[in-house]
Amino acid sequence: MSKKLSSQKLLKNNVLDAKLCTGCGACVNICPYQTIYNDRTVQLHYCDLTDGKCYAYCPRTPADLSRLRELFFDAKDLTPEIGAVKTYYLTRAADPEIRAVAQHGGTVTALMELALVEGWIDAALVSSDEQYLRHGTAASDKSMLRKNAGAKFIVSPMAAAFNQFVRQENANAGVVATPCQALALAKMKLNRDKEEAPKINHLQFVIGLYCGWVLSAEKFSALLAEKSVKREEIKRMDIPAGKNILELYTRRGVKEIPFNEAQVCIREACNYCTDSTAEYADVSVGAARFAGTVDEQRGWNQLIVRTQKGRELVDLAVKRGVLEIKEAPVKSLRQLKVAAMDKKKNALKNIVRKSGSAKNLLYLDSRDAMVRKILKAG
Complete DSSP assignment for 281-302: SSEEEEE--SSS-HHHHTT-EE
Orientation of helix 107-117 relative to helix 308-319, angle to 10°: 90
CA distance 188 to 177: 14
Predicted local confidence at residue 291, as pLDDT: 58
Q: How confident is the model over 321-350, as a mean pLDDT?
A: 94
Predicted local confidence at residue 140, as pLDDT: 94
Angle (CA) 53-307-85 rounded to 5° is: 115
CA distance 287 to 333: 13
Could you tell me if 207 and 111 are in contact, meaning their C-beta atoms sit under 8 angstroms apart? yes
Q: How many helices (H) and strands (E) does the chain have?
A: 15, 15
DSSP-based three-state secondary structure for 27? coil
Predicted local confidence at residue 272, as pLDDT: 97
Q: Classify 73-215+267-341 by CATH class.
A: alpha beta
212 pLDDT more than 60: yes
CA distance 212 to 219: 18
pTM: 0.94
Q: How confident is the model over 161-172, as a mean pLDDT?
A: 94
Q: How confident is the model over 10-26, as a mean pLDDT?
A: 96
CA distance 176 to 170: 19
Predicted local confidence at residue 22, as pLDDT: 96
Predicted local confidence at residue 294, as pLDDT: 61
pLDDT digits (tens, 9 = 90+) for 43-85: 999 999 898 999 999 999 999 999 999 999 999 999 999 999 9
pLDDT digits (tens, 9 = 90+) for 267-276: 999 999 999 9
Task: State residue 354 phi and psi, 5-degree precision.
Answer: -70, -45
CATH 3.10.450.750 in the chain, residues? 217-263
DSSP state of 138: E
Q: How confident is the model over 336-353, as a mean pLDDT?
A: 96
Q: Greater confidence, 340 or 287?
A: 340
CA distance 356 to 293: 42
Q: Greater confidence, 138 or 233?
A: 138
Predicted local confidence at residue 89, as pLDDT: 92
290 pLDDT more than 80: no
pLDDT band per the 50, 70, 90 thresholds, residue 263: very high
Predicted local confidence at residue 251, as pLDDT: 83
What CATH number was assigned to the domain covering residues 217-263?
3.10.450.750
237 pLDDT more than 80: yes
Predicted local confidence at residue 296, as pLDDT: 63
Could you tell me if 88 and 303 are in contact, meaning their C-beta atoms sit under 8 angstroms apart? yes
CATH 3.40.640 in the chain, residues? 73-215+267-341
The mean pLDDT value of the chain amounts to 91
Q: What percent of the chain has pLDDT over 90?
A: 71
CA distance 271 to 253: 32
DSSP-based three-state secondary structure for 119? coil
Q: How confident is the model over 244-259, as a mean pLDDT?
A: 90
CA-to-CA separations, 320 to 92, 117, 312, in angstroms, rounded: 14, 11, 12
Predicted local confidence at residue 136, as pLDDT: 87
Predicted local confidence at residue 234, as pLDDT: 86
Predicted local confidence at residue 292, as pLDDT: 60
Q: How confident is the model over 149-166, as a mean pLDDT?
A: 90
Least confident range from 101-110, 112-121, 271-280, 306-315: namely 101-110
Least confident range from 7-11, 241-245, 261-265, 332-336: namely 241-245
2 pLDDT more than 60: no
Identity (one letter) of the amino acid at 283?
Answer: V
Closest CA to 294 of 259, 243, 336, 331: 243
Could you tell me if 41 and 25 are in contact, meaning their C-beta atoms sit under 8 angstroms apart? yes
Predicted local confidence at residue 133, as pLDDT: 59
CA distance 160 to 36: 9
CA-to-CA separations, 209 to 15, 69, 80, 303, 344, in angstroms, rounded: 23, 19, 18, 10, 17
Buried/exposed 84-108: b ≥16 CB within 10 Å, e otherwise: bbbbbbbbbbbbeebbebbbbbbbb
CA distance 22 to 157: 9
Angle (CA) 301-306-311 rounded to 5° is: 80
Predicted local confidence at residue 1, as pLDDT: 43
